[in-house]
Structure 1
Amino acid sequence: MEDIYHWCREGNTVQVRIWLDDTEHDLNQGDDHGFSLLHWAAKEGHYNICETLVARGARVNATNLGDDTPLHLASAHEHRDIVHLLLRHRADVNFVNEHGNTPLHYACFWGNQILAEDLIQAGASVSIANKYGHTPLEKCTGTMAKALESLAISQGQSLETVAFKDQSWLGLKTRSRDATLSRYKGINIEDLALYKKMCEESIRRTLERKMARK
């Protein structure tokens, strides 16, 4: 699995396609940080690889360990063509990562007004606050903020701030290479071990009661 992540980062379209042709390979498997192949291709701006991965069944809304979707990374690195590709394949435009940021937060932070406008027209809210109480409009300059606010109003958006809500449980985590459950939010290995002990104890007591009746 090591080489495929490298090929996606480097934009080696030929090697990626050869790898994908082996049906035993899992294109939705994540690396040590939960980055899927689509995460890396979207981050590095390799449109052709992104297009191929999506066509082959890559999960558009998969999240890495930081709850970033490929759309977060494409927006943060200002790859407009990939943003459009992901949106066409139903990427969640308002999904929040571990910091509470939506893809629009990043477009605004980097001052990319055109990309921010694209996201708003696709349904991105200008009012979602991140963990620190900042909305996307508060991440950009005055002139840009006013333009985006006007666009949002024309799209029928409310400007009332929406407080941060943890959406990590909604995300579709990439599967880890070691196939352990510990990489998935919401599943605590210690809790599972405790549950197993409780079950074993219950079985032991049941057997003891049966033996006492004999």
Structure 2
Amino acid sequence: TERLSRRSPFSQLVYTNNNSYVIHHGDLRKIHKAASWGQAWKLERMMKKTTMDLNIRDAKKRSALHWACANGHAEVVTLLVDRKCQLDVLDGKNRTPLMKALQCQREACENILIDSGADPNIVDVYGNTALHYAVYTKNLSVVAKLLSCGADVEEKNKAGHTPLLLAIGKRSEQTVGFLLTKNANANAVDKFKCIHQQLLEYTQKLSKNSQNSNPEGTSEGTPDEAAPLAERTPDMAESLVERTPDE
């Protein structure tokens, strides 16, 4: 349809079946191949033989750290970080290794980079920060960790979405509730304010009900109210990422 053909900059990120890098061996140097295959022993041997530039890029601007993160090789990530590689080197889409680890859901690699001081506020070509990636994959523990390390909770990507708006679009109740406790701006809404407001009210109602004395944790009438909301929001919520910012 015309709407699907005019996806937002953010939808170009999220509508992909495989977020891992595609290996074209002609593009890669030995260091990139070893990192992509998780060959920490080989990297160590290479480092002993000669002075290596750990930050050298392949033909598409990806570093060894990018490759290790995309493929979830935590041992290689640890080795490269210990040898003082650059943490925030950018690939061809301005993604840091931290962003790539988050996009590919490599939690061990994510934690190593965050603990080592990777910058959470670098913006990729779509306007996304590491926090956007964590929110999109519904990784609440990493969302919390990024915020504790100074991630900007109000950064908007090129589709106009703050992490809170993205969480709402993903219907991620836990993340929405958590971001609200971290003072995310509930008024930072676009033209779909009605939908956002419904979802916020629904999340807040769930939070209140969890503190209710009712053994089932719900107040009278809540299930009937929640069901129509859940039934009527998917198509409209999906349009949050399918429409371009100027629509």
Question: Aligned-pair distance for 1:81?
Answer: 2.3
Which residue does the alignment assign to 1:115? 142
Corresponding residue of 2:173: 143
Which of residues 55, 73, 94 in structure 1 aligns to 2:82?
Answer: 55
CA distance in 1 between counterparts of 2:64 and 2:106 reads 16
Query: 2:61 is matched with which residue?
Result: 34
Alignment of 1:158-197 (within 5 A): none
Q: Could you list the runs of 5+ residues in structure 2 that have no partner in the other structure?
A: 1-27, 189-247
Q: Describe the shift of the 1:160–1:121 C-alpha distance in structure 2 as closer, same or farther (beyond 3 A).
A: farther
**Alpha-carbon shift at residue 49 of structure 1 (Å):** 0.6
* Greater shift in the superposed pair: 139-148 or 51-60: 139-148
Q: CA RMSD in A?
A: 1.9
Mapped pair 1:46 → 2:76: no
Contact 2:180 2:186 in 1 (8 A): no
Distance 2:38 2:95 in 1: 21
State the TM-score, normalized to the length of structure 1.
Answer: 0.67
Q: Which residue of 1 aligns with 2:227?
A: none
Q: Distance in 2 between matches of 1:62 and 1:104?
A: 17
- Structure 1 residues 160 and 70 mapped into 2: Cα distance closer, same or farther (>3 Å)? farther
Change in 2 beyond 3 A, CA 1:31/1:160: farther
Displacement after TM superposition at 1:20 (Å): 1.9
> Is the CA contact 2:88–2:97 (under 8 Å) kept in the aligned structure 1?
yes
The Cα of 1:159 is off from its aligned counterpart by 6.2
Q: What is the aligned partner in structure 2 of residue 25 from structure 1?
A: 52
- How many pairs align? 158
Report if the CA contact (8 A) 1:117-1:151 is conserved. Answer: no
Note the C-alpha offset of 1:9: 0.9
For residues 30 and 159 of structure 1, do their structure 2 counterparts lie closer, same or farther at Cα, with a shift above 3 Å needed? farther
Q: What CA distance in whole angstroms lies between the structure 2 residues aligned with 1:127 and 1:98? A: 17
Match status 1:64 vs 2:91: yes
Matched to 2:147, the amino acid is I
Deviation (angstroms), 1:160: 7.2
1:29 is matched by which residue type in structure 2?
I
Provide, for residues 177-196 of structure 1, a one-character-per-residue CA deviation record: whole Å limited to 9, x for no partner: xxxxxxxxxxxxxxxxxxxx
Preserved contact between residue 128 and residue 136 of structure 1 (Cα < 8 Å): yes
How big is the shift at 1:158? 6.0
SS at match of 1:134: coil
1:126–1:136: 8 Å Cα contact kept in structure 2? yes
Q: Tell me, what secondary structure is at the counterpart of 1:59?
A: coil
Does residue 1:129 correspond to 2:156, yes or no? yes
- Structure 1: gaps (5+ residues): 162-214
Give the letter for the 2:182 counterpart: A
Identity of aligned residues (%): 28
Quick one: distance in 2 between partners of 1:28 and 1:76?
Answer: 21
Q: What is the CA–CA distance in structure 2 between the aligned matches of 1:159 and 1:23, rounded to whole Å? A: 54
Q: Which residue of 2 aligns with 1:104?
A: 131
Tell whether the 8 Å contact from 2:36 to 2:71 is kept in structure 1 after alignment. yes
- The normalised TM-score by structure 2 is 0.59
Query: In the alignment, is residue 152 of structure 1 matched against residue 179 of structure 2?
Result: no
Return the alpha-carbon distance in structure 1 between the equivalents of residues 96 and 69 of structure 2.
9
Rounded to whole Å, the distance in 2 between the matches of 1:41 and 1:75 is: 12
Q: Which has the larger radius of gyration?
A: 1
